[in-house]
Structure formats: structure tokens, C-alpha cells
Structure 1
Amino acid sequence: MTEFWVIDDDSPVPVSSEVVLEVLRSRIDSGQFETWLTSSSGRSLAFVTNKERAMVMLLEEEGDPGEHAVDPGAEGSSGGFVLSNGQGDEYLDGDTVPMGEAFRLVEHIVETNSWPAEARWVGDR
């Protein structure tokens, strides 16, 4: 069976790589800056943004520290990452990626169930 992804707090209908970016943009436009997707195999994909950069994390199972996309050349930090519980976070820019890259990563993971070969990410395990 092929792994598929659903948005955690939306319909249980699978979201395809063709529409996942539209869904993310719509959620951001409505003030939802944190989105979790769950795969049919139990993995989780997190996307948290401040509209300029995003934290993209892939977790194998509940409780897994996972792995996240990185931007090794970035310096400084950015705030404004608002979680669904209202908490505002700040992350090092090296631990987040620009929005275009974040969208590309999410789309690729939803389509292929893995990071793109050239993606920069680190394991937090």
C-alpha cells in the first residue's frame, strides 16, 4: 500500500502533492501558521511558519525527535512562529528555511514520502 498524508485537523481525506501547497497557503492566509500532516504509516510532517521562513520536521512516530530542514548559511534568528496553542516561538535561521524551499520540501515529501536528495536536513535523534 502506498503511503498517503492527511492534514491532522482537517478532513480525513488524503492530501496530494498537487494540492498540499494550496492547503498550506490557505491555512496561512487564515492565520494558521502551524500545520501537521500524518501519513498512513504513522509518520508526521510538521510545517510552522512566520510567513518568511518555516520549520519543516519529519517524525517517524509519536515521541520521535525526528529530523528537520536546515539552512546552513543562514545567520541570526527569527520570531513570529505562532503555534496552534497561541505560543510564539523564535528559531535560529539555520534551523528554518525560506518559504519557497519549505513549500518545495513539503510537496516533495507528500509526493515521495522522503526528503529530496539534495535537501539539507539534520536528525534530532
Structure 2
Amino acid sequence: MVTNGERARVVLTDAEGSAGEHLVDPHADGSSGRYPLSYGRIDTYADRDTVAFDIACRAVAHFITHATWPADVSVEDNRSSSS
């Protein structure tokens, strides 16, 4: 998870470098910046590919406890698009 304080990009990978899946906000438009990555780059993401920070925190906590995403979040599987 990486956040700019308002929205967060939440990605779950199967292994190092795999496409995995990420939470999406299918109704969001536009993009947001100021996402600091671990190697120093600051990224911008489409708001569709991020969720509100509070939703991200709740979803990650649920995943840690139940090993599945909560039913009320949207998840996009990136595995088929990474071939």
C-alpha cells in the first residue's frame, strides 16, 4: 500500500514482480499525485486505480484477518493482462 494521505494504491502480488491484483474505485475520475515510492520516485495514479485512504486501511486489515478482501471493495485482477 502506498498513500498520498487522501487516497491509497493497494496492490497484492503473488510473488516478487508478479502482476497480482489491486483495489479499484470504478466510479472515480481523474488522477492524484504525491505517492512516494520506496526508491524515491513520486508517482501519480488514476483515481480509478486507488481508493480512499480509510477504505484502504479497512480493506487491508480485513485481508490480514480473513485472507480475503471485504465484499464491498472492488478488486481488479492484473494477472491475465501481464502475459
- Fold match (TM-score > 0.5): yes
Partner of 1:58: 12
Partner of 2:22: 68
Unpaired runs of 5+ residues, structure 1, are: 1-46
Partner of 1:115: 69
Paired residue type of 1:69? L
TM-score, reference length from structure 2: 0.90
Q: Deviations over 1:44-95 (max 9, x none)?
A: xxx0000000000111222320100000111100000001111000000000
Greater Rg, structure 1 or structure 2?
1
Task: Show the 5 A alignment for 1:14-93.
Answer: 47-93=1-47
Partner of 1:36: none
Q: What do you get for the CA RMSD once the two structures are aligned?
A: 0.9
Identity across aligned pairs (percent)? Answer: 48
- Cα distance between partner residues in 1 of 2:71 and 2:15: 22
Q: Which has the higher contact order (CA 8 A, sep 6+)?
A: 2
